Amino acid sequence: MQDTAQPRDWSTTTEADLSLIMRIIPHRYPFLLIDKVRDIEVNSSAVGVKNVTFNEPHFQGHFPGAPIMPGVTIIEALAQTSAVLVGLSLDLVDKEPLVYFMSIDKAKFRRKVVPGDVLDLEVKVLRGSKKIWKFDGRASVNGEMAAEAEFMAMIDLGARG
């Protein structure tokens, strides 16, 4: 029997659940830092969602008795959100791309992120091409700014497989 299924057009996707996220980016526990991505506008913007829980390994040492999500993991969660956006924008689902930071600029941290928070991770494309992308990222909890940064990343399709 011949497979007549048509390839999926990812350009109309507006939300990515955990299953789709894992088909786009290689991160897994304990370093997968987003639970879903919503409000996706390919080549433009997206909002990642991170449900912050006490069970995450970094809280064992950051800090015992006063757990705070490290700022670098907030920036990484923004980057993972942007990698999902790029994956959908460039039709990279199931193609195992790797995404590497090239730069992080203007990083500012405004409030603590603690277990029980829901972190909204807004990313906007400032510049994008096939390999190099630049983003503006803002992380917030209940509308209150937690962190912000501009960052640039490189997409690598040749590193795996």
The alpha helices in 65-153, defined as continuous H runs, are: 71-89
Separation CA 147–CA 86 (nearest Å): 21
CA 106-110-115 angle, to 5 degrees, is: 120
* Catalytic residue, candidates 58, 62, 111, 124: 62
Minimal CA–CA distance to 26: which of 84, 71, 90? 84
Residue 27 among the catalytic residues: no
Q: What's the Cα-to-Cα distance from 55 to each of 67, 69, 82, 114, rounded to whole Å?
A: 11, 12, 25, 12
Beta strands 132-141; 98-109: pairing state? unpaired
User: What b-and-e string marks burial along 73-103, b requiring 16 or more CB atoms within 10 Å of the CB?
Assistant: bbbbbbbbbbbbbbbbbbebbeeebebeeee
**C-alpha span between 87 and 106 (Å, rounded):** 25
Catalytic residues, by residue number, are 62
